[in-house]
Amino acid sequence: MTTDRLSVTFWGVRGSIACPGPATAGYGGNTACLEIRAGNKLLIFDAGTGLKPFGGALAKQGGPLDVDWFFTHTHFDHIQGIPFFSPLYDRRNRFRLRAGHLIPEMNLKQVLSEMMSAPLFPIPIGIFAAQIEFADFRAGETHDLGGGVVVKTAPLNHPNRATGYRVEVGKKAICYVTDTEHVPGRLDTNVLKLIEGADIVVYDCTYTDDEYPAHVGWGHSTWQEGVRLVEKAGAKRLAIYHHDPDHDDTFMDKIAAEAEKMRPGTFVAREGTTITV
């Protein structure tokens, strides 16, 4: 049985480093992790510290898991939750891990194995009991997951490379575009093509336009650029994402108000929130 269900849940919305505490409790302090339910499929995107509470929620649901897991890239804030994801220790579960930014220099299994090795971590990746498959691809390829679910990809502008994603089921689409840096005055054609007509675009909005000049070359974009992109691409809603660790709840409230005024329907991603298309 196929279905056109499509939703996204934000388990980690922060960029660079986790920043828990009262000043960030409103929007959340965990780093990047998304849950997307597409048709009958469960998809995970990235594996920041938000992966740990996500794992706890999945464990409570019970039953074996069959998961397609995609990585934008393997900078530490996007992978550091992996050793603490409880479903990886359950032999009933199956995970297919994919990344589109590493080849030909390295592969995903090698990177994650090195993260979980001395002197960085005390327990090796072999501790996991779940069935794990690793696959590397080139950004730009399309993945047909079956059941009417298709994942399209595109290269992003980020140090050490990154991959953007578009999840489609039926006529619905959610895009996940982080970490990427724009060029002022020139909209990124790779991003525009990927997000064209999408229902929700989760975009790297680490900075404001005023902050960006001091961070050129750091690999991140602005919420105003996100608005410009979704407007040009005819996408429906922008989700402001990958919040700077120095942007507390008061700062994010201000961005939320400004963004809603600039393009109604735009929202700041908040941990624990589910948006259904």
Amino acid at 98: R
Close Cβ partners of 251 (under 8 Å, ≥ 6 residues apart): none
Give the count of domains, the chain: 1
Classify residue 1: in a domain, yes or no: no
Classify residue 149: in a domain, yes or no: yes
Task: Tell me the pLDDT tens digit for each residue of 92-117.
Answer: 999 999 999 998 889 999 999 999 99
Q: Roughly what angle, to the nearest 10 degrees, separates helices 223-233 and 249-262? A: 30
Classify residue 142: in a domain, yes or no: yes
Measured CA to CA, the distance from residue 94 to residue 110 in angstroms comes to: 19
1 has a pLDDT exceeding 80: no
Classify residue 196: in a domain, yes or no: yes
Classify residue 131: in a domain, yes or no: yes
Close Cβ partners of 47 (under 8 Å, ≥ 6 residues apart): 32, 33, 69, 71, 78, 79, 80, 81, 82, 85
Residue 140, domain CATH: 3.60.15.10
Classify residue 118: in a domain, yes or no: yes
Whole-number pLDDT of residue 263: 98
Q: Domain of 94?
A: 6-276
Closest CA to 98 of 128, 73, 77: 73
Amino acid at 138: R
Q: In whole angstroms, how large is the CA radius of gyration of the chain?
A: 18
Classify residue 235: in a domain, yes or no: yes
**Predicted model pTM:** 0.97
> What is the average pLDDT score of the chain?
97
Residues facing residue 73 across a β-bridge: none
Task: Tell me the pLDDT tens digit for each residue of 114-160.
Answer: 999 999 999 999 999 999 999 999 999 999 999 999 999 999 999 99
For the record, the structure tokens of 174 come out as 């959610």
Classify residue 212: in a domain, yes or no: yes
272 has a pLDDT exceeding 70: yes
Closest CA to 81 of 50, 119, 122, 109: 50
Close Cβ partners of 264 (under 8 Å, ≥ 6 residues apart): none
Provide the pLDDT confidence category of residue 179 given band limits of 50, 70 and 90: very high
